[in-house]
Amino acid sequence: MVAGHLQEKNGKYYIVLCYKDEQGKKQAKWQSTGLDVKGNKKRAEDMLLKARKDFNPMVKKEDKVTFAGFMKNWLEMIKPNVELTTFAGYSNCINGVVCPYFNEKGILLKDISPRHIQDFYTHCMSKRGVSASTVIHYHANIRKALKYAVDTDLILTNPADKIQRPKAQKYIGKFYDVDEVNTLFGVVQSSLIELPVMMAAFYGLRRGEIVGLKWSAIDFKNSTITIQHTVTSLSLDGEFITIEKDRTKNKSSHRTLPLVGEFNTILSDLKKKQQDYRKLCGRSYNTDYLDYICVDEMGNRLKPNFITDNFKRVLSKNDMRVIRFHDLRHTAASLLLNAGVSMKEIQEWLGHSDFGTTANIYGHLDVNAKHRSADAMLATGIKLLTPV
């Protein structure tokens, strides 16, 4: 077993293996553990011991590693250091798409070239019908993994740096006008998605923010509603997992909004109704989600996908124009713009992290601003018609 030790660098643990090459010269091989120094010493020591046992200086194991195999190993390496939601995205991409394609090709890591990766992107778009935005997501994952391969001397250069990425088309969200919103409110009345639909269309809340709403976030006395807890779902290895977070998507998403009179009444009535259901159902009532607002008659918290799926069915059943549930957030923004609310105020209402996000998504809808610009140009005294 070769000698070795742990080395700290930039807040991370690295494995340093010490051995003699074929000429008898002392060599040192560095391997990244991917572990932060703080709180991971025992895990790093275990990785060091395994690396010392497995390492054979006379055999270059990386010469036999396939690109698909490397991607799977990289995925397991980063798992302890990223959030579950992030890992799920990596896993679905690598295990679901990247590895099946490259396993069939049998390309070794040391032989992976820009052409191989470019062919993969072309295959995804032409054969699988994947969008350019999704391919860009694949590219980000592959490039990050290959950067690690370069950093650990498995390959000399990163072939993903030489790729011509496809150009993503800017997505323009759909939205309902006032009449369509009022019709929608009518068709979802008394259903389990009534409140989620109203919250999305009026407050522009994200689905995870709606499912994560708790009674403790409602201040009936001061008429405010605070967005501070989220519930989202993800698919990992074919299984749906629910993630609860006592924080929002970003710092700006943690916001307090006015609880207007109508919503004050709606939520007050709903709270009383849930109390009545609990008494009626007795021990059959699920008490795990008593503080959550969006629950069914038995106290079960609504699942994010339940809202999305039922929203689609409602639109289809009532022959309404098809939009995504998230497009109700766009609807809220468009209605506010038409009412003369400034883009900056809309940014704060929706909880965007920066003004540029709001402007990029909704700038094309800001008709009022364009009219003000046209009026300002006319006010300069410019003559559009030359007197005869």
What pTM did the predictor assign?
0.71
Token pair listed for 61: 């194991």
Question: 269-302: per-residue pLDDT in tens?
Answer: 999 999 999 999 999 999 999 999 999 999 999 9
Query: How long is the chain?
Result: 388
Q: Which of 66-70, 256-260, 347-351 has the lowest mean pLDDT?
A: 347-351
Question: 229-269: per-residue pLDDT in tens?
Answer: 999 998 887 788 898 988 766 676 789 999 998 999 999 99
**Domains delineated in the chain:** 1-59 (no CATH), 63-169 (1.10.150.130), 178-370 (1.10.443.10)
Q: Given the DSSP bridges, would you call strands 230-236 and 218-219 parallel, antiparallel or unpaired?
A: unpaired
| Cα pseudo-dihedral 234, 245, 251, 211, rounded to 10 | 70
Question: 16-57: per-residue pLDDT in tens?
Answer: 988 776 566 788 888 888 899 999 999 999 999 988 887 766
Average pLDDT, the chain: 87
Question: Looking up tokens 């994947």, which residue turns up?
Answer: 130
Question: 315-328: per-residue pLDDT in tens?
Answer: 999 999 999 999 99
Pick 366 or 179 by higher pLDDT. Answer: 179
Would you state the pLDDT for residue 10? 85
- 3-class DSSP state for residue 323? coil
| pLDDT over 70 (residue 354) | no
